[in-house]
Every structure is written in C-alpha cells, then in structure tokens.
Structure 1
Amino acid sequence: MNRGAQSIRPYRSYVYAYPHKTSYRPLPERPALSELWAGERKDALSLYLHIPFCEVRCGFCNLFTRIGAPGELTTRYLDALERQAVAVREALGDTEPVRFAAAAFGGGTPTFLTAGELERLCDIAERRMGADLREVPLSVETSPATATADRLAVLAGRGTTRVSIGVQSFVDAEARAAVRPQRRADVEAALGRIRDTGVPVLNIDLIYGIDGQTETTWRRSLDAALAWHPEELYLYPLYVRPLTGLGRQAGADADTAWDEQRLRLYRQGRDHLLAHGYQQVSMRMFRRGGAGGTAPRGPDDHACQTDGMIGLGCGARSYTSGLHYSFDYAVDMRRIRAIIDDYTEAADFTRAEVGRRIDGGEARRRHLLQSLLQAQGMEVAGYRERFGSAPAEDFPGELAAFAGRGWLEETGGLLRLTPEGLAHSDALGPELFSPAVRHAMAAYEPK
C-alpha cells in the first residue's frame, strides 16, 4: 500500500459494492441466466426491484435515475419489469426450492410510482417471483415529496418493515445548496405520515459536508432527526462526482479543507448519536439501541453485496457466486433516458448482458471488504473456514498497513476497525480493490 502512503485522502470512494459497476463490461458470450443460476443456492435469495424515476435530481446524485416519466413510461417500465421477472423466475427453475429471505425497492424513488403502480410492483415481486413480502423484511426508499398517505398505506399493507427517507438536511438553505429543493415543514409532514403507518423501522438519511454547513447547523439536523426517534440513521459524507449537478472549486487547498470539514462533522455526528443511545454499525449506519429486538432490522451497508441477489429493473445488479451482472450504466441524463427506453422495449430477458466475473481472489477481497467495513468486524476463523487461508496470508501488505496507521486491530479472534479506522472507511475500502478492478475502473469513460 505504497500509493500515497503518507497522505491518503479520507474520502476517496464510497464502497457500497465490490466490484464497482464501472468495472463491468459487456459480456461477449451473453450467458443464459438458467446456466448461471443452475449451480447456485436458491434457498435464501435477496430480491431488489429498481425504479429509475425521481421528481427532481439532487445535485450530488449519480444514481441511475431520470426526472419524471412522460406519457405512459411508468406503465411501460412496469410491463418490462414483469417480463423480466417472468424470465428470471423461469431461469431459476423448480428442481430445488426457491425462497427469498429479503426484499427491497430502491431507485431512484420507488414512491414516484402511484399507489396503484406500487400495488402492481408488489404483485410482480409476489406473483411473478414468488417472494412473500409479508413474511420477509421489505425495505422501501422514499422522499419527502412522494411519501404520500395513499402510497404509504399500500406499502404498509403489503408488509413493508422498513421505510428509508432521504432528508439530507433539515436546514432549508443547505438543502438548496445540495440542489435538493425542499422545505423542512414538508419533510416533517412526510415523517409524520410514515410514523402513522406503523412500519417498524424508520431510517433517515443525512448528509454532511454541504457547502455552508457548520457544526451548529449539522447539530440542528441531527437533533431534528432524533426528535422522530428513528430506528436507524445513515450519515453520508457529501461526494461530488462527474456528470452530477454539483461542482466544487478545484485545488488541493479546497480539497484538504473539505476533507477536514467532513471528518470534523462525521466525528461530531457519530459522538452525538452514540450519546443518544445509538449503536454504530458501520461508518454510515447507526441503529437505535433496543430497536432490533422486536422490529425487523434494515439492511446494513453490505446488504447490496449479498451473494444470491436477484435484481430486477434496468439499474439493478444481480449476483451469483461467479458473476455479477446488470444492464448498461450511465449518469448523464440523456444516456439514462436511452437505456430506460431500450429496457422498456426489450423482449428477451433470459441472458446476462453486462457484468464481471468473480474468481477466488475477488471472492476473498469481496468477503474481506463487506465484513471489515462493518463495526462488528470479521471472524478470522470464519474466513479460514470459507477460504482455507488466513486474511493475513492473503492480504499481508494491506492489513499490516492498516494496522500501522491505527485503523485495524485483531482481538478475540476478530479483525476489527478501530474508531479511527471506521472514520477512514472510504480510504480503506479502495485500498483493497484488486489491480484488475482498479484498471477496469480507471479505463471506464463516464457517460
């Protein structure tokens, strides 16, 4: 780990999936899904349905989503989603039990759909895929503007156990600075409607590092969120990525000052939540003490990394043990619109189009990443049982460097990040990317 070993920036990349989608490439052989899933365990699958629509696009957003849905686009999209679900379920076969252990609707904003369209989305998950939404944890993302009573009633009635709302800031001026037009009064009203549904887990997303944000205004947002006693809180550092609405002044001094601001606000937010009885699950995720006893828990940071993931929709990923696959990826709005249009017109969903193969070395890295970035750490014995080797044998340089920086410790058979290691998760994660994945990501041309 000698690349910039003296000055690793704390906010290099948010590692929410490995390998990252920018390392995916078109699959020349276009393997049949029935072949890909033939040798996979199917008794505890995760199901993810992606809705690529939002009422507005926030300035920091690089998700696969578009603004609005003219004409009958949502209907055409759900038609395509249903065709894909039928093809995927058939590819899973019936020679062994197919069971879903968790489900999620993400985006975009799933609640951009009308109440009737949300009913249809649930029907696709249940009737076409066979997921019993009332018997498994179901997480759904929403926004203040789309968390209407009729939509929330549908979700609660269909078994939703977790609603995650992207607030980002309770300070109107900061919301505008993040190119997220909203009023605190509307946010509070949406939170009230969510609580009225009785859904067991409320998650609130907040962002730190917004232009003009101070310790005082950050504390104001934290306290406003805590007033709702959310079972979960996610604290995200602001990132500004290519082709998004936000831009920042270039220059090393500005970058350094911004890094210092984000680290300072992260520590303030972490300490404030810990003092209010929350437990830190990862750098980003905090869970209220006692909330996990009777209420179903929402997904942790690495939930979207789970092997055995079925993703439906043109922005979703699917994971087998040997291949991660999806459709084409873009951030530019024009390219996103074209990909969505192609998806709605597609008739054949029986093959994987874009993806990346996962060999033994990548499987080790993936397991280490998704385990180590959680506050509970990774069991060394469990790693050895799975891979037949010790983490220190497979990653001697990286782990020694992390320990040397005070980021990592081994205690009681666990490899665990220290508090300072958790704070630097977005620097630590990218250091574990393989050279091949680094090369593919570097060669990717943003579009």
Structure 2
Amino acid sequence: MTTSTTAPPAVRPYESYVYAYPHKTAYRPLPDRPALRELWAAEPKDALSLYLHIPFCEVRCGFCNLFTRIGAPEELTTRYLDALDRQAVAVRDALGDAAPVRFAAAAFGGGTPTFLTADELERLCDIAEKRMGADLLAVPLSVETSPSTATADRLAVLAGRGTTRVSIGVQSFVDEEARAAVRPQRRAEVEAALGRIRDARIPVLNIDLIYGIDGQTERTWITSLDAALAWRPEELYLYPLYVRPLTGLHRLGAAAGPEAEALEQAAWDEQRLRLYEVGRDHLLARGYEQVSMRMFRRADAPRESQDGPEDYACQTDGMIGLGCGARSYTAALHYSFDYAVDMREIRSIIDGFTATEDFSRAEVGRYVDAAEARRRHLLQSLLQAAGLPLADYRARFGTDPREDFPAELERFADRGWLDGQAPEGLLRLSQLGLAHSDALGPALFSPGVRAAMAAYERK
C-alpha cells in the first residue's frame, strides 16, 4: 500500500533543492578578508571533510546551473591544477600542526572531475594526499563522472587511488528524454560506461536519474529505473527537474512567455509528484531503502562510513573546499569564491582563480551566528529520512528544536509533513513531508538569508 503525496493546492512542492545552508547566493565579499589561519585556529580538525572542485565539463546540460564551463583551452587544466596546488599548500599551512589534522572523508566534484586526463587525476589525488595529508586509501572517497568521461584509464586511476564511490549522471536511459533535457548522449554509451565502472570494481556505484522531463511518462520513467536497476547500483538518486535562471532550458522556456509558464507550472508540479511516487515505490519494492527525498540505497549495500549522515549534509562543521567552486565551513564562517551561472562570468572567475598566488585569506562568504547554526542543523537533519534525534540537538545546543522553531514545526505538522508515529525523542518527516522536502527546506531559511538571496544579482 502506498501513501499519497499530493500537496494542498497552496503549497508549491518544488521551490528549491537545499544541499547546503546558507546558499552561496547569500554569500558576499568579506571586507575584512580574514586570514585562514585565524579562522581555523580554534576549530576541531580531527575529522574534516575534503572536497576538490573541478569546474570543467564536456557539455553543459540544459538543466545545469553548476559552477562549470564547457571544455578547456590548451593548458587551462594545467593552470587550474597549479592553482589548486598553491591553494592546498596555503590551506594546509593555515590548519597548522598545533592540533592533529585528520580527514575523515574526501570527494572530487564539479563540473566533471573525470574531464581531467588519467595523468591529471593522478595529480589531483597527489594534491589531496601529499599537500593536504588526506589518506585516500583509508577514508571514503567519492568521485563524480559522466558517460563520456568514464574511460577505463581514468577509472583505473580512481580505483587504484582508493575511490570507494563513483556517481554517474545518467538522468534518463531514454534517448529522446536525454535530448529534451539538452543532454546529448545515447543509451548505448551510458551502458558501456556503466560496464567500465563495474569492471573497475569500485565498491559503490550511484546512478543519478531525473524526473519531470518534457515528454516523460510513467512508462518511460520506469524504463529508466529498470535500466538502472539492471546494474544493481548500491545507490540511486532521483532528482526532480528544475528550470533555473540562466540555464539552457530556462532560455528555451522564456520564449514561451511568463503567462504560458504560469499555466504549465501546476501541471508540471503534479507530474513531478506523481513520478516521484512511482519512482519511490518502484525502488522500495525492489530492495532499496529511502535515505532522503532523493537518495535510495540498496539494503544490502556497503555503507561508505559508519560516521555521520549517509546523504550529504552540513550539520557539523569542518569542511575544507579546494577549487574556485568549493565551499569551506568553519563554525562561524562559510566561505568560497565568487559564484556565477552565466558562462562568461564563470570563465572570468576561473581565469582569476588560476592567476591567484595568495590563497591565505577568505574572500567571499557568510558569517553564521548561533541562531543560524541551530537552523542549519535542524534543516539538514530533518531532510534525512532517519530524522533528527532530539538528544543530539540538545547535546549540541542545549535547547530543543520545538522550542527554538515552534511556528515552523507547527506549520509542518498542520500540513502533515511530520511523522506523528515517530518514536519518542525523534523528529522525523512523514512520507508526505519527504516528498515535499524542496518546499520544507526553503521554509526554514531565516529572514536574513532570504533577504540576501533575494538581493543577489544573478550573473
């Protein structure tokens, strides 16, 4: 028996995907340009996460608003890795040696890290290990790839350097749907790439799929799900399609005019919710467990780590991000470099990054006070299917989230988004609430963050 996830008409189920809080559109240039050494001086450094960002792709999908550029002129990847090396040296120096520095997890993202050649991937791993001190053979290492760049030589490097998880963006196994999403690929190419990944014997395979593509039906959605399941992936991520400003699909849709877009929005929301239910139930019936709205894990799959959340969340501090699109988190400051979606702006930022010699200071970011830290912990924990143990929240903050956020939680309960049958001491979403994670998450944004995001000038 399935539970309906149809929303009350007034609630838009797809406002935005919350993968980090505050969002980078709330960041601003930091007038004081604080020194990294001072930022990290009092931070615990014994269980850090390390993220290396590669801002290059062979193509840019129509739905993509990631910080990435298409292709790389001659020597640009070399210059980028040179800059990444300089940044790593500066950051590791800032961490100091007064207290133990240990990395508990690592990830290469983008963009498409496997846009780099096999030799360049070796150098990327060397930067993580020899410059930062991360033991890639001893910690979970996740790497993103694409069908056209998941070549045998690249995968051999990743497997040899300790990669425990490869995530491949497939989006659809139906060629017509891939074209509709402005993602030029053929199913045969996707299947060949998946075969190479399995041949590399990397323990965890994740396949990304998208629902809500123009022309997609329940039948074609199940076709993609079954094609993915044939590879018995340890993880599957099911993403609703978004058409975001300055992306290829947004430019195509803008030609239809705002009135047509408004008329179609309700029907599109209904389609995405229906396909979400179909996908969720299809996977649950085939031995997968739901970790979040997006993430499903095969019940017998190995866990990458016994510590921390399975789906990425930033409740806890201690993230080191290297690269011009990466975030870093301390308890008091989230920082990065400038952010853009427009290709010309991205190219300019990448060029500026590769020319940078001094990486010892934070340039762009947002300070996080105690109230925002509570809000972030609640938001990121609640979006996990496992929910938030109230004891964990009390241990960290000395308060109860029901006292700190009474209006928000009461509103969620009124909408049926909270699980009334959850065990005592656990705040957990209902199936309806999980389905509406992209409405619930933004509803927890603070007024200050909302104002900063609204004032952000897109570029």
TM normalised by structure 2 equals 0.95
User: Partner of 1:269 in structure 2?
Assistant: 279
Distance 1:309 1:85 in 2: 13
User: Partner of 1:396 in structure 2?
Assistant: 406
1:334 to 344, 349, 362: 344
Distance 1:259 1:77 in 2: 40
Shift of 1:299: 7.0
User: Partner of 1:15 in structure 2?
Assistant: 18
What whole-Å deviation, never above 9, does each CA across 1:308-332 have from its counterpart, x for those lacking one?
A: 0000000000000100000000000
User: Partner of 1:165 in structure 2?
Assistant: 168
Contact 2:314 2:380 in 1 (8 A): no
Shift of 1:300: 3.6
1:415 to 414, 427, 438: 427
Contact 1:283 1:423 in 2 (8 A): yes
Q: Which amino acid aligns with 1:311?
A: G
Matched residue SS, 1:211: coil
Distance 1:217 1:425 in 2: 24
Matched residue SS, 2:61: coil
What whole-Å deviation, never above 9, does each CA across 1:16-39 have from its counterpart, x for those lacking one?
A: 110000000000000000000001
What whole-Å deviation, never above 9, does each CA across 1:407-442 have from its counterpart, x for those lacking one?
A: 013532100000000000000000000000000000
Contact 2:290 2:296 in 1 (8 A): yes
Matched residue SS, 2:142: strand
Shift of 1:293: 5.7
Contact 2:20 2:313 in 1 (8 A): no
What whole-Å deviation, never above 9, does each CA across 1:240-293 have from its counterpart, x for those lacking one?
A: 000000033433320000000000000000000000000000000000001036
Distance 2:442 2:183 in 1: 29
TM normalised by structure 1 equals 0.97
What whole-Å deviation, never above 9, does each CA across 1:7-60 have from its counterpart, x for those lacking one?
A: 120000100110000000000000000000001000000000000000000000
Distance 1:323 1:303 in 2: 16
1:244 aligns with 2:247: yes
Distance 1:83 1:295 in 2: 30
Contact 2:27 2:364 in 1 (8 A): yes
What pairs up with 1:175-194 in 2 under 5 angstroms? 175-194=178-197
CA pair 398-388 structure 1, distance change in 2 beyond 3 A = same
1:435 aligns with 2:435: no
Shift of 1:389: 1.1
What pairs up with 1:143-222 in 2 under 5 angstroms? 143-222=146-225
Distance 1:347 1:413 in 2: 50
Contact 2:316 2:377 in 1 (8 A): no
Contact 1:156 1:197 in 2 (8 A): yes
Distance 2:364 2:243 in 1: 26
Answer with 406-415 or 182-191: which moved more: 406-415
Aligned length: 444
Distance 1:60 1:83 in 2: 33
Shift of 1:177: 0.4
Structure 2: where are the runs of 5+ without partners? 1-7
Distance 2:221 2:361 in 1: 47
CA pair 220-6 structure 1, distance change in 2 beyond 3 A = closer
Contact 1:201 1:296 in 2 (8 A): no
Answer with 41-50 or 302-311: which moved more: 302-311
1:225 aligns with 2:236: no
Contact 2:140 2:305 in 1 (8 A): no
Distance 2:343 2:317 in 1: 30
Distance 2:187 2:101 in 1: 44
Structure 1: where are the runs of 5+ without partners? none
Q: Which amino acid aligns with 2:92?
A: R
Shift of 1:386: 1.3
User: Partner of 2:133 in structure 1?
Assistant: 130
What's the C-alpha RMSD, in Å, of the aligned pairs?
Answer: 1.6
Distance 1:31 1:298 in 2: 29
Answer with 383-392 or 321-330: which moved more: 383-392
Q: Which amino acid aligns with 2:120?
A: E
Identity of paired residues, percent? 80
1:49 aligns with 2:52: yes
CA pair 206-366 structure 1, distance change in 2 beyond 3 A = same
Contact 2:15 2:442 in 1 (8 A): yes
Distance 2:38 2:214 in 1: 49
Contact 2:77 2:116 in 1 (8 A): yes
1:377 aligns with 2:377: no
Contact 2:26 2:452 in 1 (8 A): yes
2:263 to 253, 267, 287: 253
